[in-house]
Amino acid sequence: MPYPEVLRDQVDRYLADMRFSSEPATAGLEEAMRYSLLAGGKRIRPVLALATASAIGIDPVSVLPLAAALELIHTYSLIHDDLPAMDDDDLRRGRPTCHKAYGEDVAILAGDGLYAEAFHHLLKSQAGDPALILACAAQLASATGVSGMVGGQYLDVGDRGDAGDAGIRRIHELKTGRLIGASVGCVLILAGSPQPATLAFHEFAAELGVLFQIVDDILDVTGSETDLGKPHGSDERQGTRTYVSEFGLDGARDLATRSHAAAIAALESIEAPSVEVDRAKGLRDIADFVWTRTS
Amino acid sequence: MPYPEVLRDQVDRYLADMRFSSEPATAGLEEAMRYSLLAGGKRIRPVLALATASAIGIDPVSVLPLAAALELIHTYSLIHDDLPAMDDDDLRRGRPTCHKAYGEDVAILAGDGLYAEAFHHLLKSQAGDPALILACAAQLASATGVSGMVGGQYLDVGDRGDAGDAGIRRIHELKTGRLIGASVGCVLILAGSPQPATLAFHEFAAELGVLFQIVDDILDVTGSETDLGKPHGSDERQGTRTYVSEFGLDGARDLATRSHAAAIAALESIEAPSVEVDRAKGLRDIADFVWTRTS
């Protein structure tokens, strides 16, 4: 099994074992949370965290609580993004979206609950130096707040960003880039990695976030509905500005190729003393996967 | 000026100075967050945190970041509770609710953003022993998750709790009680207070949460609309089970009197070595205020 899949299995098993409450009265809320959390998915953020741990020579298992928190937060953002007042999507990963399955009130609360439980789990279960865990959690909160995921969704849903390449890039830097960046950055913080050694990692993560979004936009046009688990062309129908709408399909593919190359170059610039080359292979595999994925 | 009002002024000034992003593009989101955050309000949770600090002999100013986080979280919960899919309220504190003023999409994101920024602020700006801040933040996350505020709202909005006194009590223990409890408990954690000394504080906070809810239910029937800032009788119209619907107005008033007495008794049981009597006066004043308030 390729290395990222080994890590994904680890993440999936860990997530499947998570319980959020022992109270029977709130079992329905927990069911809605787990419905969305365990709907499959690529688990790119937690896998990235585990592969980063490998790359810097620490045991991936030791960052599983952080990895789980990343996926809980990602799932919460999908549930809220799918709501009727936002993107109004009926299908996600081939199944009814959370509000279609459980009602809009429960979906809002399932998102809220996943976000709270993400912090609860990270703060309670992550082992390490308390000062480093604190810094890691602060980074995660920042990456998901107004200067991160929530701010990016605000720009995206109301088409409020600036026009052109810089505008699209900024929306995605905030909406998806900062959480992908935190998937790498939070592990470096936990490990207490010194600042200079981490610059190339941050460059890699930033470029990976861009690559992820470009490929997402391409797949929305070219992907099979079975693979995607939702109707394609939804960006175009909603008038969303994408890399494809701005640069055409060939232009977007060209941007993806350049972005992938830049991500790999960032990895290769990580100097030998701070990381063994074969250890970073997991990160390289993830970049390849993000580039060539079909869903 | 009575002591709780001095503290409330301190909280109001601190909240008014908070900024969440310097990015012009997300200024509209920040505006919606501040619209709800700065709409007035009793600030009971942050004032409770500051008065608890006083009671155990530490400087209230030192817990202002925690106090602010409590109010950001409370505001987020009001915004989401008011949404059309939840309680569908148009007025809050005499002004249009967040979704009425800014649209439903922005209101969902303003709530999400306030929760993220609450943790960001607490984790980044609260001074103290990192291990204690970590435990404090974990407590806050738990109090606002599935076994706390979000779980309570799930029970309340779908009328999913058990019938009778125990059922109502449980809904409010989760929905409002745990955050009110955390307003006291998180300060004790930050101060590293030993467990036995804190039991009476926890009893006080639990009773105060119950008192708060009973008075809320009474005011929904008897309060003036000008004082409340919203139409009264909304619980009855929505068929919400309240202390008044279950026990009648006189029964609810009787429960409030008993709950207030129990809260004061808990305060008085705090032994002299762990707290000076006059220092706890702020907490006693808050209990009196919660009991006799008209809005």
Q: Which residues contact B1 (CB under 8 A, 6 or more apart)?
A: B9
pLDDT, residue B120, reads 98
pLDDT at A194: 77
- What pLDDT, on the 0 to 100 scale, is given for residue A256? 95
Predicted confidence at residue A186, as pLDDT, reads: 97
Q: What angle do CA B123, B128, B131 make, to 5 degrees?
A: 70
Residue B24 in tokens: 């012009």
Residue B208: which region, alpha, beta or left (left: phi > 0; alpha: psi -120 to 50)?
Answer: alpha
Q: Which of chain B's residues have a Cβ under 8 Å away from the Cβ of A21?
A: 146-147, 151
Domain region containing A51 = 3-292
Rounded Cα gap, residues B277 and B267, in angstroms: 9
Residue A103: the pLDDT is: 97
Residue from the list B104, B123, B153 with its beta carbon closest to the beta carbon of A138? B123
Q: Residue A163 contacts by C-beta under 8 Å, 6 or more apart in sequence?
A: none
- 9-48 in A: which are within 8 Å (CB) of B? 20-21, 23, 25-26, 28-30, 33
CA distance B118 to chain A (A): 8
B142 residue type, one letter = S
How far, in Å, are A135, A164, A294 from residue A241 at the CA level?
35, 9, 21
Window A:172-201, CB contacts with B under 8 Å: 174
Give B51-106 pLDDT, tens digit per residue: 999 999 899 999 999 999 999 999 999 999 999 999 999 998 889 999 999 999 99
Better pLDDT: B44 or B225 = B44
Instruction: Determine the distance in angstroms separating the CA of B132 from the nearest CA of chain A, rounded to an integer.
Output: 9
SS3 A34: helix
CATH code (residue A209) = 1.10.600.10
Where chain A has pLDDT below 50, the residues are none
Q: What is the total count of domains within chain B?
A: 1
A chain contacts of residue B138, beta-carbon cutoff 8 Å: 119-120, 123-124
Q: What's residue B233's pLDDT?
A: 67
B28 to chain A: nearest residue by CA? Answer: A154
d(Cα A252, Cα A218) in Å, to the nearest integer?
7
- What is the mean predicted confidence (pLDDT) over B226-247? 73
Residue B7: name the closest of B72, B64, B82, B58 by CA: B64
SS3 B128: coil
The answer to whether the CB atoms of B109 and A148 lie below 8 A apart is no
Phi-psi region at A92: left, alpha or beta (left = phi > 0; alpha = psi -120 to 50): beta
pLDDT of residue A272: 52
In the block, residue with structure tokens 């969902």: B108
Task: Give the residue from chain A lying closest to B122, CA to CA.
Answer: A138
Give the pTM: 0.94
What confidence score (pLDDT) does residue B7 get?
Answer: 94
